[in-house]
Amino acid sequence: MATLSGALIGCGFFAVNQMHAWRDIDGASIVAICDRDPERLRIVGDQFGVARRYTEAEALFDAERLDFVDIATTVASHRPLVEMAAANRVPVICQKPFAPTLADAKAMVAACAKAGVPLMVHENFRWQSPIQAVRAVVDSGAIGTPFFGRISFRSAYDVFSGQPYLATGKRFIIEDLGIHILDIARFLLGDVSSLTARTARINQAIAGEDVATMLMDHVGGAISVVDCSYATRLAVEPFPETLIEIDGSDGTLRLAQGYQFTVTGKNGTTVTDISPPLLPWASRPWHNIQESVLAIQRHWVDCLASGKEPATSGADNLKTFALVEAAYTGAASQQPVRIDDLL
């Protein structure tokens, strides 16, 4: 396969994982990087041996012939940068949260569609190997038709030291983390017709909500509870594990802390350890997120080569983003929100 030439925009905290993953992928290479902060540009450029460096995205697009661009900045810059990629006819990956609002997200999807440019949101949690293993069991029919799910992320891990901006926004856990867990619920149980939400702020030192509980009706008939907290102190800190319970017509599955996976079907129960691999450049406890970065970036390269739409395309991500918007409006109004009314 010919090697695709990519550029990374945004060389901050999380982009380092993306750069490691690009180095592990045969079909793609990062030939240029961009960051407004010259110090971040220097650190990442030196660490990964990238000589072509830009402090302005316009200059990057003007000077480089690119097969794709990988946007790893924070949300405020996503819309202008995605629209710049579309205007330059460059296929684009954009980090989550895709946009500040659903209206922005729709405009970004429309801009890429109009330009005929592939667009993938870096919605990586569903690419964690334990989550893929759960989906494989659901698809196998071993537990029958799912009628209930609980997708849960509860932790007291200090995410603010690595990502200080998370403490300052009016929106926190749903926009930052819940977005992944809502996406996993869609991935496992299908699209959602209505959502009811409640939120709370337990840590008074931050601006946004750090606890969210959401109840969803899935189009296929299942009900799920998605619950997220960064205010939950446990005996053993589970960050960043997503715990999953699904009950089906013929059995159940449980993905418990420590990646213990129990499946009970018509023929009995199996218990397996489905811990994710620790990649050579990864470090605990982030390793499940880090392996999913490699997986989603591989998927992007496969999709560009085959012309397939990425699983978390911009169009797909609108359906996850709508759940985020519904959770905020529903928590404010204390009323259920119909998802079709938003899309």
Q: Shortest approach of ligand NAD to residue 68 CB, angstroms?
A: 16
Pick one of 8, 14, 82, 112: the residue that binds ligand NAD (CB under 6 A). 14
- Residue 110 is which amino acid? A
Neighbours of 117 (CB within 10 A): 20
d(CA 189, CA 146) in angstroms, rounded, equals: 7
Here the contacts of 44-53 (C-beta below 8 Å, separation 24 or greater) are: 44/8, 44/11, 44/15, 44/16, 44/19, 45/11, 47/16, 47/19, 48/19, 48/23
Pick from 1, 3, 37, 258: which binds ligand NAD (CB under 6 A)?
Answer: 37
Binding window for ligand 89Y (CB under 6 A); candidates: 61-69, 175-183, 241-249, 256-264? 175-183
- Map tokens 């008939």 to a residue: 221
Cβ 10 to ligand NAD shortest distance, Å: 3
In the complex, the smallest distance separating the C-beta of residue 157 from ligand 89Y, rounded to whole angstroms, is 8
- Region from 176-184, 192-200, 316-324, 331-339 binding ligand 89Y, contact rule CB under 6 A: 176-184
Q: Does 176 bind ligand 89Y (CB under 6 A)?
A: yes
**What are the tokens at 299?**
């998927």
**CA distance linking residue 326 with residue 166, whole number of Å:** 20
Residue 37 touches which of ligand NAD, ligand 89Y, none (Cβ within 5-8 Å per kind)? ligand NAD
Query: Is the Cβ of residue 106 or residue 171 nearer to ligand NAD in the bound state?
Result: 171
Q: Does 13 bind ligand NAD (CB under 6 A)?
A: yes
User: Is 248 exposed, middle or buried (CB count within 10 Å of its CB: 0-12, 13-18, 19+)?
Assistant: buried
Among residues 146 and 310, whose Cβ is nearest to ligand NAD? 310
| Rounded CA separation 272/251 (Å) | 16
Residues forming the site for ligand NAD (CB under 6 A): 9-15, 34-37, 40, 57, 72-75, 77, 95-96, 122, 124, 163, 176, 289
